[in-house]
Amino acid sequence: MRKIFEGGMGVVYEADQRGARDFIKRVAIKIIRPNYASQKMFIENFIGEAKLVADLIHTNIVQTYHLGETNNACFIAMELIRGVNLEQFGHQLAEKRRQLPLELAVFITSRVARGLAYAHAKTGPDGTPLGIVHRDVSFKNIMIAFEGDVKLTDFGIAKARGFLTDQEGEVVAGKADYMSPEQADFQITDKRSDLFSAGVVLAHLILGYNIFKGLTAEESRQRVIRQPIPDFRTLDSRIDDRLNHILQRCLTRDRQQRFATADELMYELEYYIYHGGYGPTNETLGKFIRDLFGQSPLAAPAAEFRDRTESMENSSRLHAGS
């Protein structure tokens, strides 16, 4: 129907999936630019991502419907989200000079934790854990629909047994200012790496800026590895002892002291916003974002449907020893 995003290596379109008797479903189609379609590892990982995400069926993960091939070109049909990613969301908050309510920042992160908990626990048909680590939990890969649903997307550089070619330890891929220290330092990651990244997202949502963001990817990477983690109570008066403790546990460089699972993080975040009674819901978030963007729930989809190709192009890809 129309192009909704164009990256350096791939293009995403809004499309109609047609069926019998005038059945139509609106989807997003991800394709690879022809000049990259001959790169074997790239194609294998594009296919691997589709196969991996196909069975990740969860309300907080963008769903993949179909992997197809036509004219020797692969494409992925996926859920079309009518909304924005957190980067767009943050830019709009800054432009309108509005501060995100603290409870909505915690709510958004709790939904990310829910999606991660599901992905981390996913097993194959034989019951063997897939060992999924997203490795790119960041503002650009978290979407909010205008209805208020929070969706984690882009598993293009995820680690999972048997699905994607992995060069961990030699190459680090992802956005440097959201990486865990072990990821930034070319170490082998596990699910706790994603929880550090979720902590960066939470702090960014509350403060309005990323504490690890440098002028270059390398500077950001060094900050993640070495910069002291602040007492967040000194940076925002809304942050109390309990929320500061949650942030500190997410962002500790000692993996043994971090939250052990996304379920544990999700519980702490949800207890924080709901223990006193009524707290935010999808509807609360939906009303806030529609007001922020002047949209209705039926508004056109955002122009930010990122595919693995764009993630590879714009992410920090550093080689050990370089």
What span, in angstroms and rounded, lies between the C-alpha atoms of 288 and 282? 10
Q: What is the DSSP code string of 302-317?
A: PS----HHHHHHHS--
Burial of 261 (0-12, 13-18, 19+ CB in 10 A): middle
The answer to whether residues 167 and 195 touch, using CB atoms and an 8 Å cutoff, is no
Between the alpha carbon of residue 187 and those of residues 180, 194, 214, 225, 291, the distances in Å are 10, 14, 21, 12, 43
Burial 55-79 (b: 16+ CB within 10 A, else e): ebebebbbbbbebeeeeeebbbbbb
As to burial, measured by CB atoms within 10 angstroms (0-12 exposed, 13-18 middle, 19+ buried), residue 92 is middle
Question: Does residue 263 have an active-site annotation?
Answer: no
What is the rounded CA–CA span in Å between residue 159 and residue 119? 11
Rg, C-alpha atoms of the chain: 19
Sheet of 10-18: strands edge to edge?
2-6, 10-18, 24-32, 73-78, 64-70
- DSSP, collapsed to helix, strand or coil, labels residue 251 as helix
Cβ atoms of residues 301 and 14 within 8 Å:
yes
- The residue from 16, 55, 126, 136 that is catalytic is 136
Which single residue is written with the structure tokens 């969706």? 151
Q: How far apart are CA 86 and CA 250, in angstroms?
A: 19
Q: Which residues are catalytic?
A: 136
